Amino acid sequence: MVAFGEPRVVMFGDGNKKGYTLVQLIETSNITAHFVEETNDIYLDIFSCKAFETKDALACFKAAFNPARVDSIFLKRQAHH
């Protein structure tokens, strides 16, 4: 995945949903994340038109954030040519 431009990071929200949201455009689509300040939860979405190894993405996430627990859902969509 190759970044396209700089990431945008904005703090917003109220109550237990307040936190930073990140948007990073990549050459094949985007990566978004929300970091909930109150609970230290992270919600990460990787959307790419190019195939990638989900195990590699999960390994990068774990290496970067060292989470106590991970719940993950991987959705594979079929692109029509």
pLDDT for 80 equals 66
pLDDT digits (tens, 9 = 90+) for 53-75: 999 999 999 999 999 999 999 99
DSSP H helices, the chain, are: 54-65
Which parts of the chain register pLDDT below 70?
79-81
- Please list the residues that pair with 12 across neighbouring strands: 19
Residue 79 has what pLDDT?
66
